[in-house]
Amino acid sequence: MTKYPWQPLLGLAIGLLVLVGVLWVVSPTAGPFALTEADSAEVPYRYAATPVGLDGPAGQCVVCHSIEKGGPLRSAPNLWGVVGAPKGRAKGYGYSVALASASGVWTEKELNDYLTDPIKFMPGTKKTLIGLPNADERAKLISFLATLKN
């Protein structure tokens, strides 16, 4: 007789729970390693509501920025009215020292240079974008951003 007679029962119970958990996840028709619909490549972003502009020229931008007037700060500031606006203008956003101390306004040429290579244009920026190498894509994006105004 063992000192702790419940130990074999505990091991059996844990084993059954693991087995039931594995069987719960396995799809009977697709197999154990099938992707669910939410994990498929056809669903690139998971939002409660699709961000405004996701299917437009600023589709890459709206993952971090909002583009609607008065839109919320996401992980980056709102882009409404950015062309011609002062650099580092959004209240309450923690800009990098480089951008917060930058002077002037965002012109289309400066946006083009910034989007080409943010780190080269403004060393010390927090922008994690490597850059948009395609000049046509940048031009479309900047002309779209120029329409975001009153």
Count how many Cα atoms sit within 13 Å of the Cα of residue 35 in the half-sphere of its side chain.
Answer: 7
**pLDDT of the residue at 94:** 85
Bridge partners, 27 (sequence order)? 31
What pLDDT is stored for residue 25 in this prediction?
Answer: 58
Q: Could you read off the pLDDT tens digit of each residue along the chain, which spans 150 residues?
A: 567 777 778 888 888 877 766 666 555 555 555 555 555 555 555 555 666 677 778 888 888 888 889 888 788 888 999 999 999 888 878 888 888 888 899 999 999 999 998 888 888 888 777 888 889 989 999 999 999 888
Model's pTM, two decimal places? Answer: 0.63
Question: C-alpha angle 68/110/84, rounded to 5°?
Answer: 45
pLDDT at 74: 82
Give the span between the Cα atoms of 57 and 94, in whole angstroms. Answer: 26
